Amino acid sequence: MEKTILVVGATGLLGEPVARRLKENGLRVRVMSRDTNKARKMFDESFEVVVGDVMDKNSLGKPLEGCFGVHINLTGYEERIGVENISSVASQKGLERITYTSGTNTFEENAWFPLTRMKLAAETVIYESGIPHTIFCPTWAMESLTRFIRGNSASVIGKQPNPFHWMAADDYGRMVSGSYLLKEASNKKFFIHGPESILTHEALRRYCSVLHPEIKKISTMPHWLANIIATIIRNKEMKFACDVLGFFEKVGEAGDPTEANSILGAPEITLDEWLKQRKAKSGESSAG
């Protein structure tokens, strides 16, 4: 009988490739979302789509029923509560595996930052559940470069002097999915870094040169200005981005990917290869 994996946050940037890779690896995939219409538009009938809300513990019983494992891909400052609810119900339902998307800087020395403190707390909840687990700590995804584009302009909040090993979401999906097939991946904390170290401004410049050639200049928005704008227009997403980018400007990228690369196979997709793939897909969409 095929094992069923519930993917929480499958409509997210890093959740979708995990769901698709699990399916490709022969596992049954159940997608949980508060917005089942959105999920159904993204996933065909080979995926089971169920409604559920991580903040409502009572809504999680049916989605987790009969599952072998659950992959948790959440964002935001309520993440710990969601992980706590899922882990509690998963224990009651006898699940045998939890995988969770944490972050590349989840170390105690960075607990001064609220998001890191929250992710560390979520990791602790998973450890204490007693369910075999794999914690994934990815760096920046190439797919997030799209969020630096607004209309016909591209800007980065802050100077961002630290380079990052940008990873493709497809590589991440492959590694998470592969962890369900390997005993060696159980009860591990893996740091996921892409094949190249690139400054944010340079990564965005290369992105625009291929996919937005009309954008000739990458601007830099000071943190103080970005925070004022986010506050005035009451844009929670922008405020969240200000907080995260401010944090990464201070601490950079951390974690050692050696063990993850050894057990799961290192990410291979370079930024240039990813851009070529995106451009090809864009061309196919236009032709269609």
**270 and 197 in contact (C-beta within 8 Å)?**
no
Amino acid at 179: S
In this structure, which topology does domain 4-142+166-195+253-267 adopt according to CATH? Answer: Rossmann fold (3.40.50)
What are 93's two structure tokens? 């339902």
Span 136-162, pLDDT tens digits: 999 999 999 999 999 999 999 999 999
Least Cα distance to 255 among 134, 123, 110, 115 occurs for 110
Span 19-77, pLDDT tens digits: 999 999 999 999 999 999 999 999 999 999 999 999 999 999 999 999 999 999 998 77
DSSP state of 173: H
Counting residues of the chain whose pLDDT is more than 70, the rounded percentage is 98
Phi/psi of residue 28, each to 5°? Answer: -80, 135
**106 and 137 in contact (C-beta within 8 Å)?**
yes
What order of strands is seen across the sheet that includes strand 97-101?
Answer: 48-51, 28-33, 4-8, 69-72, 97-101, 133-138, 188-192
Span 273-283, pLDDT tens digits: 999 999 998 87
pTM, full prediction: 0.95
Q: Would you state the pLDDT for residue 286?
A: 58
Least Cα distance to 15 among 46, 50, 39 occurs for 39
pLDDT, mean of residues 221-240: 90
Q: Would you state the pLDDT for residue 288?
A: 56
- Write down the domain spans for the chain: 4-142+166-195+253-267
Q: Would you state the pLDDT for residue 76?
A: 77
Span 171-197, pLDDT tens digits: 999 999 999 999 999 999 999 999 999
